[in-house]
């Protein structure tokens, strides 16, 4: 029979729960009584994933789950606590809960013997530490968070068979750190890594891992302001951009990225003149953004014309700068590894030997298609001329 204490706990919670969730408490009681830990975990998953359980989550963790925490999946246990803590706004209180759970699991592990046949809670410890680092970020204790994340990164790198849930959680926390530091490039690349863990996630998780509009917007801003980001195709073609496209008042930021991708100075100027007064972070970085569009215009000029030798005047016309500024712009492009080449100052020529590969959009694909069609027609015309002129010889 279920212990009187647990029976009383579940009966009380059942009364307070949403009527449509009350059936789960019968399952909890049955599974607990028969020590059906796997089935109990599955039923707890259903409970915690239902929004109607929100008012009771922390209480069911405090009064029920803690009684059998050593018998259920370690990552599920941590997730139950994390979801329950979403109702707590006090980071210090949440930190106490996570620290206490870690200490409890350490005590359990310290009492195990070799013959117990039970695994240690190593993954749970890593998961808890990642979330503790995240709480330090919320408390603006960035140095503590960075120290923890650096240690965790080394541990995860050397650990075999890391659950995807841990990898996802680590990238998410790391991205939060870079966002607070306004390290746009690191935030951008780390967030893309985080999104990649969501695409192939076959693990059952109760934490909501759906990408948010806020993340989509932050990624767009990071792409615009990242000092090392000049390839926007991966973001523009990612499903997360649907969250931007669904909101008409934010279409401008996707349009701005597309303008940068093709080096469209006119469209860029039009968009930026409207949005700059409304968006402080863009206004603060106007000089950088204008340099970025000119660099992209240079790259697009090379791509569109399919030529490797440009005069200073060609570059000046394409990027809308003075001719005496061309050399500095090309040097900047080379230093950023957007292209490789050389500058002939005497003859005012730029020779390009390599352009950074990038994901191209439909408009750029169409240009490439047209070039291939032109090339095919030229080859056919050449073949016809060779055949006509070679007839006397072949005969």
3-class SS string, 187-220: HHHHHHHHHHHHHCCCCCCCCCCCCCHHHHHHHH
Residue ranges of the chain with per-residue pLDDT less than 70: 1-4, 113-119, 200-204, 360-364, 367-368, 371, 390-395
- According to DSSP, residue 226 is labeled -
Q: How far apart are CA 291 and CA 240, in angstroms?
A: 27
Angle in degrees, 0-180, between the axes of helices 74-84 and 37-49, rounded to the nearest 10:
30
Whether the Cβ atoms of residue 30 and residue 42 lie closer than 8 Å to each other: no
Give the pLDDT confidence score for residue 115 in this predicted structure.
54
Give the pLDDT confidence score for residue 391 in this predicted structure.
64
Give the pLDDT confidence score for residue 363 in this predicted structure.
67
Give the pLDDT confidence score for residue 2 in this predicted structure.
45
Q: Is pTM beyond 0.75 here? A: yes
Q: How far apart are CA 260 and CA 132, in angstroms?
A: 39
Give the pLDDT confidence score for residue 1 in this predicted structure.
44
Strand order in the sheet with 339-344: 309-311, 349-355, 339-344
Give the pLDDT confidence score for residue 203 in this predicted structure.
57
Give the pLDDT confidence score for residue 116 in this predicted structure.
61
Which residues neighbour 79 within 8 Å (Cβ) at sequence distance 6 or greater? 48, 165, 205, 206, 207
**CA torsion sign, 212 to 213 to 216 to 218?**
negative
């Amino acid at each position: 029979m279920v212990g009187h204490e647990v029976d009383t706990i579940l009966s009380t919670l059942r009364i307070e729960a949403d009527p449509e969730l009350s059936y789960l408490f019968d399952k909890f009681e049955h599974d607990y009584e028969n020590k059906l830990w796997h089935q109990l975990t599955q039923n707890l998953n259903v409970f915690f994933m239902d929004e109607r359980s929100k008012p009771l989550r922390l209480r069911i963790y405090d009064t029920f789950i803690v009684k059998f925490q050593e018998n259920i999946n370690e990552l599920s246990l941590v997730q139950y606590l994390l979801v329950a803590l979403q109702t707590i706004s006090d980071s210090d209180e949440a930190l106490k809960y996570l620290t206490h759970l870690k200490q409890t699991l350490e005590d359990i592990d310290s009492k195990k013997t070799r013959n117990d046949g039970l695994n240690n809670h190593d993954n749970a410890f890593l998961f808890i530490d990642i979330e503790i680092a995240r709480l330090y970020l919320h408390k603006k204790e960035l140095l503590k968070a960075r120290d923890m994340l650096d240690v965790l990164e080394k541990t995860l790198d050397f650990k075999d068979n890391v659950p995807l849930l841990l990898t996802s959680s680590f990238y998410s926390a790391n991205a939060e750190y870079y966002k607070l530091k306004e390290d746009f490039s690191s935030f951008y690349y780390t967030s893309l890594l985080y999104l990649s863990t969501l695409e192939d996630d076959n693990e059952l998780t109760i934490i909501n891992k759906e990408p948010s509009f806020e993340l989509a917007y932050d990624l767009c801003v990071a792409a615009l302001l990242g000092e090392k980001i000049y390839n926007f195709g991966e973001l523009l073609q990612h499903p997360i951009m649907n969250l931007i496209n669904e909101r008409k008042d934010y279409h401008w930021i996707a349009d701005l990225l597309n303008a940068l991708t093709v080096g469209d100075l006119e469209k860029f100027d039009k968009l930026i003149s409207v949005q700059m007064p409304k968006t402080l972070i863009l206004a603060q970085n106007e000089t950088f953004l204008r340099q970025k569009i000119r660099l992209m215009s240079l790259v697009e000029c090379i791509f569109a014309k399919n030529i490797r030798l440009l005069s200073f005047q060609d570059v000046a016309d394409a990027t809308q700068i003075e001719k005496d500024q061309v050399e500095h712009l090309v040097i900047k492009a080379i230093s950023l590894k957007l292209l490789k080449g050389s500058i002939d100052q005497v003859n005012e020529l730029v020779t390009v030997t390599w352009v950074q590969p990038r994901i191209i959009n439909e408009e750029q694909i169409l240009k490439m298609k047209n070039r291939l069609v032109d090339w095919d027609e030229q080859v056919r015309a050449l073949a016809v001329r060779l055949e006509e002129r070679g007839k006397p010889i072949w005969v």
